[in-house]
Amino acid sequence: MHKPNMREARNRHKQEVLYLDCDNSIKTDKFVGKKYFLKTYGCQMNVHDSEQIRAYLESFGLIETEVLEEANVIVLNTCAIRENAHDKVFGYLGRCKHLKKAKKDVIVALGGCMSQEENVVKLVEEKYPYVDIVFGTHNIHDLPRLLIENTGKQNIEVYSVEGNVYENTPYKRDSKITAWVNIMYGCDKFCTYCIVPYTRGKQRSRRSSEIIKEVKSLVEEGYQEVTLLGQNVNAYGKDLPDEMSFAKLLEQVSLTNIPRIRFVTSHPWDFTDEMIDVIAKYSNIMPYIHLPIQSGSNRILKLMGRRYTKEKYQELFNKIKSKIPNATITTDIIVGFPDETEEDFNETLDIVNYCKFDGAYTFIYSPREGTPAATMPDNTSLEEKENRLQRLNKLVNNYSLKSNQKYYHQTVKVLVTGVSEKDSSKVVGYSEEMKLVNIEAPLNTIGKIIDVYITDCKSFSLDGKIKEQ
Ligand code: 5AD
Ligand code: SF4
In angstroms, the Cα distances linking 443 to 86, 428, 447, 451 are 39, 10, 10, 15
Q: Are residues 97 and 153 in the same domain?
A: yes
Q: Are residues 17 and 101 in the same domain?
A: yes
Q: Are residues 198 and 103 in the same domain?
A: no
Query: How many Cβ atoms are within 10 Å of 353's Cβ, its own excluded?
Result: 13
Domain count, the chain: 3
- Ligand 2 atom nearest to CA at 200: 7
Q: Are residues 14 and 124 in the same domain?
A: yes
Per the domain annotation, does 323 fall within a domain? no
Domain end among 125, 157, 189: 157
Of 106, 175, 164, 173, the C-alpha closest to 140 is 164
Q: Are residues 108 and 184 in the same domain?
A: no
Per the domain annotation, does 82 fall within a domain? yes
Query: Which helix (H) or strand (E) segment is 45 a member of?
Result: helix 44-59
pTM for this predicted structure: 0.95
Per cent of the chain over pLDDT 70 is: 97
Q: Which residues line ligand 2 (CB under 6 A)?
A: 187, 189-191, 194, 196-197, 231-232, 267
Q: Measured in angstroms, how far is the CA atom of residue 195 from the centroid of ligand 2?
A: 8
* pLDDT mean over 20-41: 83
Per the domain annotation, does 204 fall within a domain? yes
Q: Measured in angstroms, how far is the CA atom of residue 11 from the centroid of ligand 1?
A: 23
Residue 219 has pLDDT above 90, yes or no: yes
Q: Are residues 40 and 112 in the same domain?
A: yes
Q: Are residues 50 and 192 in the same domain?
A: no
Average pLDDT taken over every residue of the chain: 94
The CATH number covering residue 120 comes to 3.40.50.12160
Residue 192 domain boundaries: 177-286
Q: Are residues 11 and 153 in the same domain?
A: yes
Residue 24 has pLDDT above 60, yes or no: no
Angle between helices 342-355 and 310-323 (to 10 degrees): 10
**DSSP per-residue string spanning 279-318:** HHH-TTB-SEEE---B-S-HHHHHHHT----HHHHHHHHH
Q: What is the DSSP letter of 74?
A: E
Q: Are residues 220 and 81 in the same domain?
A: no
d(CA 302, CA 295): 10
Residue nearest to atom 7 of ligand 1 (CA): 194
Q: Are residues 214 and 259 in the same domain?
A: yes
In the chain, helix, strand, coil percent, each to 5?
A: 35, 20, 40
Q: Measured in angstroms, how far is the CA atom of residue 196 from the centroid of ligand 2?
A: 6
pLDDT of 380-397, one tens digit each?
999 999 999 999 999 999
Query: How many Cβ atoms are within 10 Å of 174's Cβ, its own excluded?
Result: 15
pLDDT of 232-267, one tens digit each?
999 999 999 999 999 999 999 999 999 999 999 999
Q: Are residues 141 and 28 in the same domain?
A: yes
